[in-house]
Amino acid sequence: MLFASWRYISRSTVVPVVLQFLTLSVLSLVTPDAQSHDSGPFAGTKAAAIAAARARAQTMTQSLLDLAAQYRVAPRADSNVENELHATAASRFEVLASLMEDDPGAVLDAALPAALRASLPSSVAPYLEQEVELEGTLEILHEDRSDGARYLYHLNSAHAKYSLHFDGVAPEQLLTGASIHVKGVQVANMLALGASRTSVQQLAPAPLPNTLGEQRTIVILINFLDNSAQPYTASDAQAAIFGTTSTFFLENSYQQTWLAGDIRGWFTIPLSSTTCDYASIASYAQTAAAASGVDLSSYAHHVYAFPQNACGWWGLSSVGGSPSQSWINGSFELGVLAHELGHGEGLWHSHSLDCGTDAVVGSNCTTNEYGDIMDMMGASHTAQYNAFQKERLGWLNYGLAPAITTVVADGTYTIDPYEPVGSKPKALKILKSTDPNTGLRTWYYVESRQPIGFDTFLSDPAVGMQNVTTGVLIHSGSETSGNSAFLLDMTPATPVYYWAYDPALAGGQTFSDPDTGLTISTAWANSAGAAVIVKFGKSPSADSPTVSLSTNQTVYTRGQTAYITAQVQSGGSPVAKAAVNFTIIKSTGSRLSANATTGSSGTAVYKMRLGKQDPVGTYQAHASVVEAGQSAAAATTFIVQ
């Protein structure tokens, strides 16, 4: 991954560096729901190669069908057809395998019916795809590369490890360690999975990372048979991770979280630096550390550090995990350590949104994978995590952490400077939209950044980001996905490679949401914090329905009955005879639906009997209603144990 080191680059140098970063390192600008991250000068060549491979797969599948028909009528003594069938199947198998990473949909489209596969000779079977259903533990890894980021998904079953390839958006609400059931098409040790919800079902959620308090971390320093270099000393590594990076965590978490642990190595492992085999690196590193007396089970984070090798990434990390695993390739410093350990705590990237020169948000926007230049999980080398990310970690708005003010009415709201410890609110959280089907919400987050601590670089004139300290930053984030943090460009008229200097909503400026009429204005922003004026635009009319949802308990055991109650009102009064649709999503992803009608009190109750075979974990409950031509929705959760 390419991190822009803003603190040490002059403004004249930063412009071309940022331009290069946006066009190469961040994989180009893609639509928010796109999963492909191809970009750069060779993107067109790669797209053509994928299209050609898809065409070959279709042609070879048809050839296989024709040969299968010939085989069924050919005399069994005639081996020519079988030999040709065998050769065609083997070539087709290679083409399908080559398509798996970039176009798993082509693999699904080319899959042969089970009955046809069964009719072919047994010698062909090893070269045919299979429809499979498997269970195991999910592993999500992220590669931070200079030529583009990518997420790797694996299923670790009782018998083998499979890579997962999604025809559509991968499940971004899951974390490493979740127990899952998958249904797809297998080619070698790869699975192509469709866009349907039934392709991946969660059987049990991943253990939630403990993001508060001491984070026990083991760093294992290794090198290779052909490269025994030790690019830094164990004491240097100690200072980088348990000094600088721990201080970063401590400051970000408002003194709630820090790193502590041990450094072991250097160990030379039996691998060459000319190969990139992260699984073997981890295995050999663990073996070497255990042989030196390390109890690996006592650490929440495992870090493997080594001199630069053939891997194209600077850092690789699991997204969550117990323990999490991070690989550091080359430089052992804050920019990569705090980023990869952020992944280890369960964080995804912090992006930016570009909607052209006339709009901040809209329907025709593109995203930048690392585009948040004010966040360590984006492009910054030192900046604190944004409020959406900190809320997910419990570092804001949880327990003893500073608060986020959830704005529900027009008014002027003040927030303290974002960085220092304090009891006053550090951010605002303003409703952007609610999904009418699920009730899950997307929010605007408002922060006031100042040149304090790891954000001190904001005061450097050479960096030229003073706009940030005299305005407020606005991000968006959704309850639907951890991978939904976007820095919004409050000065859209500035060309994309310049707006890194002026992303904030400056004093006296107003942002207006075109869909709702919501306005956010900066009254003032300085070293004391900021005052923000919020006005909700299109308020619901007096007869617009509202719905709330509750359960009689927050935790149930199997065999109990969950009472899920929807309350429908209009203008503050209960609505009788309103048709309510209930949807329950179990922890595995399977759904139940039911309908009920409200009584005179405006309530409707769904009684869900929990069977002995129902899965444990977190269940989502949703309710929606359409009344007088207008809709409303609500959601809540409960736990089955």
Say yes or no: 302 and 389 in one domain: no
User: Which has the minimum average pLDDT: 53-67, 96-110, 405-419, 618-632?
Assistant: 618-632
Q: Name the residue with higher pLDDT: 42 or 494.
A: 494
What confidence score (pLDDT) does residue 500 get?
Answer: 57
Classify residue 302: in a domain, yes or no: yes
Classify residue 193: in a domain, yes or no: no
Q: What is the mean pLDDT of residues 518-534?
A: 95
Give the integer Cα–Cα distance in Å for 623 and 564: 9
What is the three-class DSSP state of 98?
Answer: helix
pLDDT > 70? residue 4: no
Classify residue 175: in a domain, yes or no: no
Classify residue 498: in a domain, yes or no: yes
pLDDT > 50? residue 361: yes
Say yes or no: 328 and 363 in one domain: no
What confidence score (pLDDT) does residue 504 get?
Answer: 93
Say yes or no: 287 and 371 in one domain: no
Q: What percent of the chain has pLDDT over 90?
A: 53
Cβ burial, residue 527 (10 Å; 0-12/13-18/19+): exposed
pLDDT per residue over 261-291, tens digit each?
A: 999 999 999 999 999 999 999 999 999 999 9
Classify residue 157: in a domain, yes or no: no
What confidence score (pLDDT) does residue 36 get?
Answer: 34
What confidence score (pLDDT) does residue 175 get?
Answer: 86
Say yes or no: 217 and 335 in one domain: yes
Q: What is the mean pLDDT of residues 452-458?
A: 93
Classify residue 147: in a domain, yes or no: no
Q: Beta-carbon neighbour count of residue 561 at 10 Å?
A: 12
Classify residue 262: in a domain, yes or no: yes
pLDDT band at 33 (very low <50, low <70, confident <90, very high): very low
What confidence score (pLDDT) does residue 14 get?
Answer: 34
Say yes or no: 390 and 494 in one domain: yes
Say yes or no: 425 and 463 in one domain: yes
Residue 433 near residue 441 (C-beta atoms within 8 A): yes
pLDDT > 60? residue 42: no
Classify residue 370: in a domain, yes or no: yes
What confidence score (pLDDT) does residue 250 get?
Answer: 97
Q: What is the mean pLDDT of residues 83-107?
A: 91
User: Which has the minimum average pLDDT: 153-157, 433-437, 455-459?
Assistant: 433-437
Say yes or no: 228 and 360 in one domain: no
Q: Beta-carbon neighbour count of residue 277 at 10 Å?
A: 14
Say yes or no: 284 and 334 in one domain: yes
pLDDT per residue over 612-635, tens digit each?
A: 888 888 888 888 887 766 777 888
When divided into structural domains, the chain yields a total of 4
Looking at residue 539, what DSSP letter applies?
Answer: P
Say yes or no: 269 and 394 in one domain: no
pLDDT per residue over 153-176, tens digit each?
A: 999 998 899 999 998 778 777 888
pLDDT > 70? residue 567: yes
Domain boundary residue among 313, 344, 375?
Answer: 344
Residue 75 near residue 82 (C-beta atoms within 8 A): no
pLDDT > 70? residue 22: no
pLDDT per residue over 191-247, tens digit each?
A: 999 876 668 888 887 776 789 999 999 999 999 999 999 999 999 999 999 999 999
What confidence score (pLDDT) does residue 197 get?
Answer: 60
Residue 230 near residue 237 (C-beta atoms within 8 A): no
The single-letter code of the amino acid at 194 is G
Q: Any idea what the Cα angle at residue 517 is, between residues 511 and 519, rounded to 5°?
A: 30
Average model confidence (pLDDT) for the chain?
85
pLDDT > 60? residue 356: yes
Say yes or no: 355 and 435 in one domain: yes
Domain ranges, residue 77 = 43-128
Say yes or no: 334 and 282 in one domain: yes
pLDDT per residue over 97-146, tens digit each?
A: 999 988 999 999 989 888 888 888 888 899 999 999 999 999 999 888 76
Domain boundary residue among 128, 163, 192?
Answer: 128
Domain boundary residue among 128, 155, 170?
Answer: 128
Say which CATH number the domain at 582 has. Answer: 2.60.40.1930
Cβ burial 68-104 (10 Å sphere, 16+ → b, else e): beebeeeeeeeeebbeebbebbeebbebbebbbebbb
pLDDT per residue over 367-385, tens digit each?
A: 888 889 899 999 887 999 9
Say yes or no: 467 and 584 in one domain: no
What confidence score (pLDDT) does residue 1 get?
Answer: 30
Q: Six-digit token pair at 102?
A: 């970039």
